Amino acid sequence: MSILIDRNTTFIVQGITGREAVSLTRENLAYGSKIVGGVTPGRAGREVYGVPVYDCVRDIASKRKVDGAVVCVPPKFTRDAVFEAIENGIEIIVIVTERIPRLEVAQMVELAALRGARIIGPNCLGIITPDEVKMGGVGGPAADTKKAYSKGSVGIMSRSGGMTTEIANTLTAAGLGQSTAVSIGGDAVIGTSYAELMPLFEADPETKAIAIYSEPGGRMEAELAEWVKDNDSRLPIVAFMAGRFMDEMPGMRFGHAGTIVEGRADTTADKIERMQRSGISVAERIEEIPGLIQQKLAEVN
């Protein structure tokens, strides 16, 4: 099994004729994903690697069931594109676009909650269920994706798209495959946090452990630690926290636009302390993650 997507998931690409979206479409198709259409207003009738292009989401969704959408449109059009997808019954939306105003992201997330949809991102590379499907830019070209990701039982959640693949590659090299990997996005406001994904991983019988890549800034790690304690999670969790040097540099940005340390609760030291108190192991280096997971799995068994 997996979470969010599987080999039967169908999705569309909004903004499909843009340069980034064309490459993303090619990579997803080569991996075996089922892209059933693309949307670019005024470009209906064209094709992108055999995928038909439509003027609007309704033109596709009215003809067939569409499970998801990958949004690759400029920031000023992203809110409208996401609203259009949600109002046409699409339930999983991956937003690749970055630099979207926080208010507009909050509005998208609120509408998704009202309509029973889920947003991943923005400013993310999407989702992958190894050897089945990927939805977004995670992993890059299909050949590279197949080398880095392998089928298995470790779930991945990461605020960095690139580090999602780095962790997967490290796990694969150690003989630990992955169930589902999710690049959740690095902005201050995102659609789905670690804690919101945990119930999905908990319900997946094939997921036996979780690996996390995190960064300074924001409250997601505190929320995750609270969720783990409150729900007595069955899953061993190993996290890597980047940016330890930032504890002496309050107010500094790290990597992503939304990663800003604004107070003690946002610092690396506080995040590590909170996670460790809840039973989450924190690796000093990425390459330590497989060994810590194997150790924790041995303890459980």
Supply the CATH number for residue 140's domain. Answer: 3.40.50.261
Q: Which of 79, 208, 256, 274 is catalytic?
A: 256
Range(s) of the domain holding residue 263: 10-300
- The 10 Å Cβ neighbour count of residue 283 is 20
196 part of a folded domain = yes
pLDDT in tens, 15-73: 999 999 999 999 999 999 999 999 999 999 999 999 999 999 999 999 999 999 999 99
Q: Is residue 169 annotated as part of the catalytic site, yes or no?
A: no
3 part of a folded domain = no
pLDDT in tens, 95-126: 999 999 999 999 999 999 999 999 999 999 99
User: How far apart, in whole angstroms, are the C-alpha atoms of residue 236 and residue 281?
Assistant: 8
Half-sphere exposure of 157 (CA within 13 A, CB side): 27
1 part of a folded domain = no
Number of domains present in the structure of the chain:
1
2 part of a folded domain = no
Report in angstroms the alpha-carbon separations of 142 from 24, 26, 147, 155: 10, 9, 9, 20
Amino acid sitting at position 216: P
Q: Helix %, strand %, coil % for the chain, to 5? A: 40, 20, 40
38 part of a folded domain = yes
Q: Are 254 and 217 within 8 A, CB to CB?
A: yes
